[in-house]
Structure 1
Amino acid sequence: MREYSENKETCGTICLKYLLFTFNFFFWLAGGAVMAVGIWTLAEKSDYISLLQSNTYMATAYILVVAGVVVMITGILGCCATFREQRSLLRAYFILLLCIFLLEIIAGILAYIYYQQFFPVNPQLNAELKQNLKETMTKKYQKEGEEGVTSAVDKLQQEFKCCGSHNYTDWSDSDWIKSPEAKGRKVPDSCCKTITTNCGTRDHPSNIYKEGGCITKLENFIQEHLKIIGAVGLGIAFVQIFGMIFTCCLYRSLKSEPY
């Protein structure tokens, strides 16, 4: 009976080892996906967010990058701990899983806070945020030392096919448009459907993007991106639950290390 029990325990341990190894393989791939989402956000989309004067979205992206790196390292450590059958490595692995889980919770909270900032229930606060974008675009565009804002505004208007914060008439309040440097432009050239030099001098619908402002399209972009961040975080957190369960089971099945 004792021999049968030992064999059964050994088979159970072997199954746990392969389950944990399979988990770590997919966990490592998931870490790469998380890191890729964070890097993509920082590399491609952060300039848009800088126009809204908030660091919360950037912090969320950095947390995703850090979490992705830690996940990949943890996956490798998990494989080593599984096949070497060392309880100390399994403990370290479990602690790292827990830390990643906490990082994901923090990223989720920050994403929720950011969502509330830009899509609040209070319409007055939402109007203030839109007004802030308008002021950023009209007061800082083409100003010395604000080259990052100028580049971000041009990229925003071209990629989202929009003009101004609310609409193209916002540019009539622009310090740059009122200055001689604008050379008679009514809107920046980046508002044009086909960019040519001084094309912003003509604000006809056939020439510029008149319908809709950039703030609405930027809000839609943020909403969709927050959904991606949330989905990735929830997916990794769900997978981690199984990893922590497998780790605890394997830890208990192994005999204590000799000290």
Structure 2
Amino acid sequence: CCRGAAAAEAGRGRREADEAEAGRPPLPLHGAERSDRDQRRRRRHGPVRHHLLQDRAGLPQSHLLAAGILCYVGAYVFITYDDYDHFFEDVYTLIPAVVIIAVGTLLFIIGLIGCCATIRESRCGLATFVIILLLVFITEVVVVVLGYVYRAKVESEVDRRIHKVYKTYNGTSPDAASRAIDYVQRQLHCCGIHNYSDWENTDWFKETKNQSVPLSCCRTSASTCNGSLAHPADLYSEGCEALVVKKLQDIMMYVIWAALTFAAIQLLGMLCACIVLCRRSRDPAYELLITGGTYA
């Protein structure tokens, strides 16, 4: 019985090989012969199909990671702006941050759609995946442009606002402008607009009449500092305006680089999804390999 089955199997293999060499399509198989052939193909291509699905599933998962990173960058911009909002009044600067958080949320949705499309092998799902990726790519290009536009406005806006903020300083904790100045001077290790001598032109300095600057101007290493101008070595020598401008411009660059990086990822995602769609539509064998189907 075993010898007969082996002989039949060998005969079928020779018949398929001869027909392939002759350039003729193989004769249709029926019943047990077709079942045996399909099982052999599944055993042979099973590992390949598994790796294909695994590789394709990795792309949507990368979009989930990208969504988290973009949302983090957007939130960081919001938090930092809240610390420096007295020096930069133009709220439109937050537009890139708002857009990048929206893009991050959309990327999360895209990742879910991509995972579902990969698992279900949905051509419609993959097409939707590509279209949304294209929209996200365009949005990220807009973020880059807006980032450069608002980055160029930072210096003039800070220069206009910082003089007003220093003039309203009164040294009391409840005053928001005073807290903002003290925070910036401590965080950025600076004093005054251009240097500590700028405090001599403020109303607060003239009213106190003690020839001293705020304690936030004191160096952390000067434990006995009381803000007196008689001991300039105890005070930060660098002005705050240039450092605030640099800080805000650096934040905008973070947004720009994040948008550029993930725009490149979207481009790669669109390319991979288009390749999959094209191969599925042009190569029936690839379709059967992915879906695990059978020939007629």
Give 1:245's aligned residue. 271
Asked whether the equivalents of residues 130 and 165 of structure 1 are also in contact (C-alpha less than 8 Å), the reply is no
Kept in 2, the 8 Å contact 1:161–1:191? The answer is: yes
CA RMSD of superposed structures (Å) = 3.3
> Which residue identity is paired with 1:209?
Y
Q: 1:197 to 1:175 in 2, by over 3 A?
A: farther
TM-superposed CA distance for 1:236, in Å, is 0.5
| Contact 1:97 1:240 (C-alpha < 8 Å) held by counterparts | yes
Offset from partner CA, 1:158-194 (integer Å, 9 cap, x none): 1110011211122222233333xx4736322211224
The match for 2:103 is 67
* Contact 1:46/1:58 (<8 A) preserved: no
Contact 2:87 2:162 in 1 (8 A): no
Per-residue deviation, 1:252: 3.9
- Equivalent residue, structure 2, for 1:42: 78
Equivalent residues, number: 239
Larger radius of gyration: 2
1:187 to 213, 233, 237: 213
What pairs with 1:218-257 in structure 2 (closer than 5 Å)? 218-254=244-280
Q: Does 1:22 align with 2:58?
A: yes
**Cross-structure match for 2:236:** 209
Q: Which amino acid aligns with 2:100?
A: L
Equivalent residues of 1:104, 1:233 under 8 A apart: yes
> In 1, distance between residues paired with 2:241 and 2:129?
44
What CA distance in whole angstroms lies between the structure 2 residues aligned with 1:130 and 1:27? 36
Counterparts of 1:184 and 1:71, CA distance in 2: 57
Contact 2:133 2:266 in 1 (8 A): yes
**In structure 1, what is the equivalent of residue 198 of structure 2?**
170
Corresponding residue of 1:135: 163
Instruction: Tell me if structure 1 keeps the 8 A contact 2:171–2:214.
Output: no
- 2:290 alignment counterpart: none
Counterpart of 2:125 (choices 67, 81, 89) is 89
Do 2:96 and 2:146's aligned partners in 1 also have CA atoms closer than 8 Å?
yes
- Structure 1 residue 89, shift from structure 2 partner: 2.3
Q: CA separation of 1:130/1:252 partners in 2, compared to 1, >3 Å: closer, same or farther?
A: closer
Q: Deviations over 1:28-81 (max 9, x none)?
A: 212211111111221245422541222243222222222222212211221111
User: Which whole-Å CA distance do the structure 1 matches of 2:212 and 2:171 have between them?
Assistant: 17
Matched-pair contact (CA < 8 Å) for 1:133–1:215: no
Matched, 1:77 2:104: no
User: What's the TM-score, normalizing by structure 2?
Assistant: 0.68
How far the C-alpha of 1:82 sits from its partner, in A, is 1.4
Gaps of 5+ in 1: 120-125
1:160 aligns with 2:160: no
Note closer, same or farther for the CA distance 1:185–1:59 as it changes in structure 2 (3 Å cut): farther
User: 3-state SS of the aligned residue for 2:65?
Assistant: helix
Q: In 2, Cα distance between the equivalents of 1:206 and 1:82?
A: 65
Aligned match of 1:151: 179
CA spacing shift, 1:14–1:56, aligned 2, 3 Å: farther
Over 3 Å counting, the alpha-carbon distance change for 1:197 and 1:185 in structure 2 is: farther
Q: After TM superposition, give the deviation of residue 246 of structure 1 in Å.
A: 1.8
Distance 1:38 1:68 in 2: 9
CA distance in 1, matches of 2:166, 2:115: 55
- Residue 137 of structure 1 contacts residue 164 of structure 1 at CA under 8 Å; is this kept in 2? no
AA of the residue aligned to 1:206: A
Give distance in 2, aligned partners of 1:204 and 1:159: 21
Q: Which runs of 5+ in 2 are unaligned?
A: 1-19, 27-40, 282-296
The percentage of aligned residue pairs carrying the same residue is 28
- TM-score, with length taken from structure 1: 0.77
The separation in 2 between residues aligned to 1:30 and 1:203, in whole angstroms, is 53
Matched, 1:115 2:151: yes
Q: 1:111 offset after TM fit, Å?
A: 1.0
Mapped contact 2:212–2:227 kept (Cα < 8 A): yes
